[in-house]
């Protein structure tokens, strides 16, 4: 696997003439952030040696290299989900390639269901911590000596980046929720009983991604920052139309883009 990672990164290095230290994973429905990137070069996943290929509709499956907020960045448009049938090694493969490319900070976004009764559709939530309810940990198996066998997860999400995000949100008047993201394997959404259980377990939002990438990024010594866009809220789901959800997601994108861009500017 590590040989493959090195081949992928060497292939990319030969085609990129910048040295990005920031990577972004764009979650479902978060396309407008990509529009803000000044793309210098882009790669379809299937062109990159050994890279897994995205299967979900609405996920482009492209690696964008360019600038955002005046910084060199690399962005994944489309990620790999465990529910698609990928192994955990495949789900987290790009993160190890990022490490080889010299990435030091990872920004992730995702769509999630709100289990916190105070949340509303279209809210953006800074992920302060997570609960891994996926059936497998991506570090299972022989330890890759990128990091320790038993990884400390007490600061999975960078306290410094969270503090900066709070300040930016305050200064810009962006309503920023905070909470715990719980990852389930999906692909089914939760039954009302399951949402209730996850709330009791301490989750504010539930989704089907992000946690494996964060675990591997931390193992690689990469600082992490994550935002969930709340696309549905358990208690309010009965009264909400698809159009309202779409409109809320659209409105959320602008705030998310602004926050990411400013955070990156301040790095
Ligand atoms: N559950 C799991 N994943 C999700 C949800 C949800 O309610 N909404 C968006 N992604």
pLDDT in tens, the chain (267 residues): 889 999 999 999 999 989 999 999 988 767 778 888 999 999 999 899 999 976 655 455 899 999 998 999 999 988 899 999 999 999 999 999 999 999 999 999 998 999 999 999 899 999 999 999 999 999 999 998 899 999 999 999 999 999 999 999 999 999 999 999 999 999 898 989 999 999 999 999 999 999 999 999 999 999 999 999 998 888 755 554 555 556 666 778 889 999 999 999 998
Ligand 1 centroid to 180 CA: how many Å? 14
- Rounded to whole angstroms, the Cα distance separating 22 from 20 reads 6
Ligand 1 centroid to 188 CA: how many Å? 9
For the record, the structure tokens of 110 come out as 């995702």
Burial group, residue 10, by CB count within 10 angstroms (0-12, 13-18, 19+):
middle
Contact of 44 with 127, CB cutoff 8 Å: no
Buried b (16+ CB within 10 A) or exposed e, 104-138: ebbbbbbbbbbbbeebebbbbbbbbbbbbebeeeb
Q: Is 84 a catalytic residue?
A: yes
Q: Is 3 a catalytic residue?
A: no
Q: Is 203 a catalytic residue?
A: no
**Ligand 1 environment, Cβ below 6 A:** 111-113, 189-190, 206-208, 231-232
- What lies within 8 Å, CB to CB, of 60 at 6+ separation is 54, 77, 78
Nearest atom in ligand 1 to 186's CA: 2
- Angle, helices 242-266/159-172, rounded to nearest 10 degrees: 110
Contact of 91 with 81, CB cutoff 8 Å: yes
Ligand 1 centroid to 63 CA: how many Å? 24
Q: Is 93 a catalytic residue?
A: no
Q: Is 209 a catalytic residue?
A: yes
pTM, 2 dp: 0.93
Catalytic residue among 76, 84, 86, 88: 84
Contact of 210 with 110, CB cutoff 8 Å: yes
Instruction: Give the other-Cβ count within 10 Å of 226's Cβ.
Output: 27
């Amino acid at each position: 696997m590590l040989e493959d990672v090195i081949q992928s990164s060497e292939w990319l290095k030969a085609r990129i003439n910048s040295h990005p230290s920031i990577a972004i994973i764009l979650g479902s429905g978060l396309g407008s952030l990509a529009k803000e990137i000044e793309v210098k070069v882009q790669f379809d996943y299937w062109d990159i040696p050994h890279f897994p290929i995205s299967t979900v509709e609405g996920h482009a499956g492209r690696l964008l290299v360019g600038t955002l907020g005046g910084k060199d960045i690399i962005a994944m448009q489309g990620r790999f989900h465990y529910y698609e049938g990928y192994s955990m090694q495949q789900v987290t493969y790009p993160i190890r390639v990022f490490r080889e490319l010299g990435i030091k900070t990872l920004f992730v976004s995702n769509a999630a269901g709100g289990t916190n009764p105070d949340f509303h559709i279209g809210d953006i939530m800074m992920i302060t911590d997570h609960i891994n309810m996926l059936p497998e940990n991506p570090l299972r198996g022989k330890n890759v000596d990128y990091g320790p066998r038993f990884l400390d997860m007490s600061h999975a999400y960078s306290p410094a980046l969270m503090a900066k995000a709070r300040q930016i949100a305050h200064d810009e008047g962006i309503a920023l929720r905070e909470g715990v993201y719980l990852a389930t394997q999906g692909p089914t959404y939760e039954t009302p009983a399951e949402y209730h259980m996850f709330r009791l377990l301490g989750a504010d939002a539930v989704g089907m991604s992000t946690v494996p990438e964060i675990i591997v990024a931390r193992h690689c010594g990469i600082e992490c920052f994550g935002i969930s866009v709340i696309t549905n809220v358990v208690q309010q789901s009965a009264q909400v139309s698809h159009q309202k959800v779409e409109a809320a997601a659209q409105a959320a994108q602008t705030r998310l883009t602004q926050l990411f861009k400013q955070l990156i500017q301040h790095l």
